[in-house]
A = this chain, B = another copy of it.
Amino acid sequence: MNYLVTGGAGFVGSAIVKKLLKQGHVLTVIDNLNTGYIENIPKDVLFIEGDFSKNETIKKLNNAKFDGIFHIGGQSSGEMSYEDPEYDLNTNTLSTLKLLQYCVKTECKTFIYASTMSVYGEKESQEKFNEQDETNPKSFYAVGKLASEKYLEIFSKQFGIDYVSLRYFNIYGPGQNLDNLKQGMVSIYLKQFLDDSFDKVIVKGDLNRFRDLIYIDDIVDITIESAQNNKFINKIINIGTGRKTTVNEMLTLIRKYTGSEKKIVIEEGTPGDQFGIYANNKLLLSIYNKPLLDFDIGLKKMIEWIREK
């Protein structure tokens, strides 16, 4: 198959690119290298450096026909979206619109979209969310992702594009950017535990906060299968393990596997930080058969990767 992947220089996008190449597909990759790394781009793809929210970048595609588009790229942090909401709107929403229009023009039929569990926001006394639950986005990032989901629904009805909106929960694993201390609980804690320049581990907020942590390889497999398995088509799907891991559990396991005895200091939480939600993933489990990796094992693999770096 001939696929277009956006955000192919980032954590998730680059992992998808590698797997798709292994499967023998022909790939075009777009990335503006804003947060992604050029080293992540394999030599055997056609790489277009540019903002996929700009016409000049779309023009570079030269009306090439793709069997599917994986729209993985975009500003991906709720916290960062406050610093430049316009960039967030362009990169997460306008980009989707432009790529969907490109799809219609070039008769591409399959559009896989990296959405987010952030669209649920938070609701008092609810921890577990399913796809029919009310959305309540709290950041610019979540608002833009939700708008994109709605665009996909409209394009599906109007132009027959088959879409999948994958509401990723909290992704971790080898390849994650350890230098970004504003995104990814697991990577933030691991960085502090394993990097000698930190003499203690700072945890911002309550130890009872939790995440639904899903391993990068599972994300890759699910995302790729969603383009190839008809059961995913025209669905919004929670991509989580359905298991809660508290901050306390993360720290305990990291201590256990790293052997670090660094002191943990609890500080005040960052404004707008989520206490925690996790996935009702019945829909995913009903159409995807492989088991999802336990955090216990995924964490060990991630620590190995960091030590080998």
The answer on a CB contact under 8 Å between A86 and B97 is yes
Cα distance A143–B155 in the bound complex, in angstroms? 13
CA distance A97 to B84 in the complex (A): 10
Interface assignment of A273: CB less than 8 Å from any CB of chain B: no
Please name all residues of chain B whose beta carbon is closer than 8 Å to the beta carbon of A137 when the two chains form the complex: 150
CB distance from A188 to the nearest CB of B (A): 23
In the complex, which residues 76-97 of chain A have their Cβ closer than 8 Å to any Cβ of chain B? 82, 85-86, 89, 93-94, 97
Please state if B151 and A140 are interface contacts (CB–CB under 8 Å).
yes
Cβ 8 A contact of A140, one of B85, B89, B138, B154 = B154
Contact, CB under 8 Å: B86 / A94: yes
Residue numbers in B under 8 Å from A97 (CB-CB): 85-86, 89
Give 3 closest A-B pairs by Cβ, nearest first: A143-B150, A147-B147, A143-B147
Decide if B85 touches A151 in the complex (CB within 8 Å): yes
Interface residues of A in 140-177 (CB under 8 A from B): 140, 143-144, 146-147, 150-151, 154, 158
- Residues of B near A146 (CB, < 8 A) are 147
A128 within 8 A of B: no
> Does A139 belong to the interface (CB within 8 Å)?
yes
Chain B residues whose CB sits within 8 angstroms of the CB of A82 once the complex forms? 158
In-complex Cβ contact of A134 among B94, B134, B143, B158 (8 A): B134
Which partner residue on chain B sits nearest A158 by CB separation?
A: B82
Contact status of A94 and B89, CB under 8 A, knowing A134-B134, A154-B138: yes
Chain B CB within 8 A of A235 CB: no
Q: Is A209 among interface residues, defined by CB-CB distance under 8 A? A: no
B-contacting residues of A (Cβ < 8 Å)? 82, 85-86, 89, 93-94, 97-98, 101, 134, 137-140, 143-144, 146-147, 150-151, 154, 158
Question: Which residues of chain B are within 8 angstroms of A143 by Cβ–Cβ distance?
Answer: 147, 150-151, 154
Residues of B close to A86: CB separation below 8 A: 94, 97-98, 101
Q: List 18 A-B contacts (CB under 8 A).
A: A85-B97, A85-B101, A86-B94, A86-B97, A86-B98, A89-B93, A89-B97, A93-B93, A93-B147, A134-B134, A137-B150, A138-B154, A140-B151, A140-B154, A143-B147, A143-B150, A144-B147, A147-B147
Most buried by B among A97, A139, A144, A154: A154
CA gap between A151 and B137 in the complex, in Å: 10
List, in ascending order, chain B residues with CB within 8 A of A89's CB. Answer: 93-94, 97
* Closest chain B CB from A251 CB (angstroms): 30
How many Å from the CB of A156 to the closest CB on chain B?
12
Q: Which of these, B85, B144, B154, contacts A139 with CB under 8 Å?
A: B154
Chain B residues with Cβ below 8 Å from A158 are: 82
CB distance from A309 to the nearest CB of B (A): 37
Question: How many angstroms between the C-alpha atoms of A94 and B146 in the bound complex?
Answer: 15
Docked complex Cα distance between A151 and B141 (Å): 10
Task: State A146–B98 Cα separation when bound (angstroms).
Answer: 20
